[in-house]
Amino acid sequence: MPVHRLDRVDARRIAVRAQLLDAHRPPDLLTVVNRLTFLQLDPTAAVAPSADLVAWTRLGAGYRPDHLRQAVERDRTMFEHQAMVWPTADLGLHLAEMAAWPPEGSRKHDWLAANATFHRFVLDLLRDSGPLLSRDVPDRSVVPWPSTGWTNNRNVTQLLEILAARGEIAVFDRVGRQRRWDLAERVYPAGTTAVPADEARRTRDERRLRSLGIARASVVGEAGEPAQVEGTAGGWRVDPAALGQPFAGRTALLSPFDRLVHDRKRARELFDFEYVLEMYLPQAKRRWGYFALPVLHHDRLVGKVDATADHRAGVLRVHAVHQDVPFDPAVTAAVDAELAALADWLGLPTVSVA
């Protein structure tokens, strides 16, 4: 198979288009999640929860967080699993992997086996009383969960997480941020067939590559076709359907968890973009801010915006706009317009520069 030789401009445009960040916005949330394959859930909401921010960046002002909640909790066109929201149409691609988890010989496998009676009790309780919050499930563990960290002796939480990972229970809905659990058979669509594990893995790799456009083989396996990107080491795979497509760009403020920048090495190689999520660093060591938003302008990542949504004061506080490359007037105007759009979407009538 011939190797596709790409310059970095072409590689970047493939990546941007694949992530639905070019000028052609998708029509609805389900289209977005089907293309991206998942939305990552994260409780950090310095500006907005990441899943909502990722959706807004693609859909614009028409997106509301209730759309995601409705899709997961009422329409069931999406499901929550392992801190991600996935298209329900892809459920069969995950079932075989769920059923084989946790791997035999692992600590969680042995702990689950030692708590077989607790396991049966929780399933019976949910069958009779579900859906339930974790605090409504009594601890009937025989062997406590061993840990020196925050999970020590959190037996109910650990069991619920394991059973969810195995596909025996699922998130029914949320009460605030708290998950309510029920039997998976009452959450997932009846009759969903598990795709054999090897076939499912290949299909997930193909879908992941389609969502990224171009990625390392270590991320997408043998999906797509081999590529060489100028100025980088080998090992790239490219979605052949993404080659030779026209490109029209726009400006976007990205979540730090956005898949365009999530692979920091890929972002450096393709975009010359350095980024660290600094929320875990002491304030004195931060260069860009607690939850700095990467700035995409057409096919380049040009900077970061340090912003905080202050709902009490009714402002989106912009502490700094860091320019990785000098902004010309057009880029400055485009970034200002995106900040105004973000403030409007958040229901904050002003943007305050601290």
Nearest of 76, 72, 184, 191 to residue 131 by alpha carbon:
184
Both ends of the chain: CA-CA distance in Å? 55
φ/ψ of 149, rounded to 5, equals -105, -155
Residues in the chain: 354
CB-CB contact of 345 with 65 (8 Å): no
C-alpha 86/C-alpha 92 separation (Å) is 11
C-alpha 293/C-alpha 349 separation (Å) is 20
Question: Which residue segments constitute the domains of the chain, with CATH numbers given?
Answer: 93-186 (1.10.10.10)
Q: Is the peptide bond before 226 cis (omega within 30 degrees of 0)?
A: no
Q: Are strands 4-6 and 225-229 parallel, antiparallel or unpaired?
A: parallel
pLDDT tens, position by position, for the chain (354 residues)?
789 999 999 999 999 999 999 999 999 999 999 999 999 999 888 999 999 999 999 999 999 999 999 999 999 999 999 999 999 999 999 999 999 999 999 999 999 999 999 999 999 999 999 899 999 999 999 999 986 555 444 899 999 999 999 999 999 999 998 999 999 999 999 999 999 999 999 999 999 999 999 999 999 999 999 999 999 998 999 999 999 999 999 999 999 999 999 999 999 999 999 999 999 999 999 999 999 999 999 999 999 999 999 999 999 999 999 999 999 999 999 999 999 999 999 999 888 786
Task: Supply the pTM of this predicted model.
Answer: 0.94
Q: Looking only at Cα atoms, what is the longest distance across the chain? A: 67
Token pair 């000028």 is at which residue?
Answer: 23
Helix locations, 77-196, DSSP H: 92-99, 107-114, 116-129, 155-165
Q: Is the peptide bond before 256 cis (omega within 30 degrees of 0)?
A: no
C-alpha 104/C-alpha 290 separation (Å) is 40
Residue 175 buriedness (CB in 10 A; 0-12 / 13-18 / 19+): exposed
C-alpha 55/C-alpha 252 separation (Å) is 12
Q: Is the dihedral of CA 348, 349, 353, 354 positive or negative?
A: negative
Residue type, 267: A
